[in-house]
Homo-oligomer: A and B are copies of this chain.
C-alpha cells in the first residue's frame, strides 16, 4: 500500500519538475525579449528551481486535493507548483537577510550575483550589486508564483477560492519571517516565542496552508469543505511544527553533504530556534555563558562548532526536542487516519509526514 503512495510521490515530483521547466522556459523567452541583460536572471532562477528542492509545498497541496476524493488534473498540479516559486522568493530573501553564503551546496543568489559582478569586472560595488539582485530575483519569483497560479488553467471558481487561502498564507509567511528576524534582536531565546515562529513559518506556511490550497481548488465552496479544512489543520499544524524542529536539529547537527549548508550553520548565525531556547532553559550557567559567546560568531572553527554541539546535547534539549517531534508526528498521523479521509490520501499524508520528519536535509 505504501508503495502506491511512494509511486505517487515520485510521479507527482516529476510532474512538478516538468511544470516548473515549462513555465521557466516561457519566462526566459519573455524576459530575453526585453533585454539580453536579463538572461543571467533566468539562468540563476532556473538553476535555483530545477537543481534541487524537496517540492514539499506542492506535494502537500496535492495531498490536500486528494483528501477531497478527487484526482488532481495537470492544471491543478500546475497551480500547486506555483508554491515552489513562492518558496524560492522566501529562500532567496532569507539568505540575503541572514547573509548566508550557500544554499543547496551552491552560492546563495546574492553571492552568485556578487561573483558575476566581479568576474565581469563591472563598475561599482560587487556586494551591493549582489544584494540588489537578490532583492529583485526574490520579488520576481514572488510575482511569477502568482502569475503561474493565475495562468494554471484551473477554473475561475477554483482560482478565486484559491486566492483567499493563498493571500492569507503569504501574509502569515511575511509576519512569521518578521517575527523570526525580530527574535534575533532579543537578549535571550524564549521557547514560547520560538514555537510561535515555528507555527507561522512552518506549521502554517509549509504544511497547513498548502493542504488548504489544494482542498480549496478541489472544492471552491468554503462551507462545503469546512470539516475537511479543520481536519487538515489537525494534521498540518503539528506536522509543521515537527518539521521546523527537525530543521532546528539539522541546522546544528546536520551533515553539510546532505543539507547543502555549512556544518553548524545555525550556530554561526546564532539562530533563535526552539532547540536553542530549550538549551538555554536547561543548561548550567557556565554552559550558557560559553554558548552565548559562540552563537552568532561568524568566525567559528570546526572545534568551536563541536564544543557548541556538545553543550547543546549535554543540556538534554536534543532529547526533549526529539520527544516533542515524536508526539507531534503522532498527532498528525492520528488526524490523517480519520475515517473522513480516503485511503489513497491517507497513505500519501502518512508517507509525506514520515519523510518530512525522518530526513537528513
- A residues sitting closer than 8 Å to B (CB atoms) are 27, 30-31, 34-35, 37-38, 41, 89, 93, 96-97, 99, 117, 120, 122-124, 128-129, 131-133, 135-140, 142-144, 146-147, 150-151, 156, 159-160, 163-164, 167, 170-172, 174-175, 177-179, 181-182, 184-187, 196, 200, 270, 296
* B-side contacts of A142, CB under 8 Å: 139, 142-143
Distance to closest chain B CB from A165 (angstroms): 11
Closest 5 CB pairs of A and B: A122-B185, A97-B132, A147-B167, A140-B174, A143-B170
Distance to closest chain B CB from A44 (angstroms): 11
Take A123-B186, A144-B171, A146-B146 as given contacts and tell me if A178 and B128 are in contact as well, using a CB distance cutoff of 8 Å: no
Within 8 Å by CB of A179, from B35, B131, B164, lies B35
B140 and A171 within 8 A (CB): yes
The quantity of this chain's copies bound in the complex is: 2
Within 8 Å by CB of A164, from B144, B150, B160, B296, lies B150
B296 and A184 within 8 A (CB): no
A124 and B167 within 8 A (CB): no
B175 and A31 within 8 A (CB): yes
Q: What is the bound-complex CA distance between A150 and B38, given in angstroms?
A: 30
Closest to A90 in B: B139
B174 and A150 within 8 A (CB): no
Closest to A168 in B: B147
Q: What is the bound-complex CA distance between A144 and B96, given in angstroms?
A: 22
B38 and A179 within 8 A (CB): yes
B143 and A175 within 8 A (CB): no
Known: A34-B200, A37-B179. 8 other contacts (CB 8 A): A37-B182, A93-B139, A97-B136, A123-B185, A139-B174, A139-B177, A143-B170, A151-B167
Distance to closest chain B CB from A207 (angstroms): 18
Within 8 Å by CB of A156, from B124, B128, B156, B167, lies B156
Within 8 Å by CB of A181, from B136, B182, B296, lies B136
A129 and B96 within 8 A (CB): no
A171 and B135 within 8 A (CB): no
* B-side contacts of A131, CB under 8 Å: 97, 131
Take A142-B139, A143-B171, A171-B143 as given contacts and tell me if A133 and B181 are in contact as well, using a CB distance cutoff of 8 Å: yes
* B-side contacts of A159, CB under 8 Å: 160
Closest to A116 in B: B185
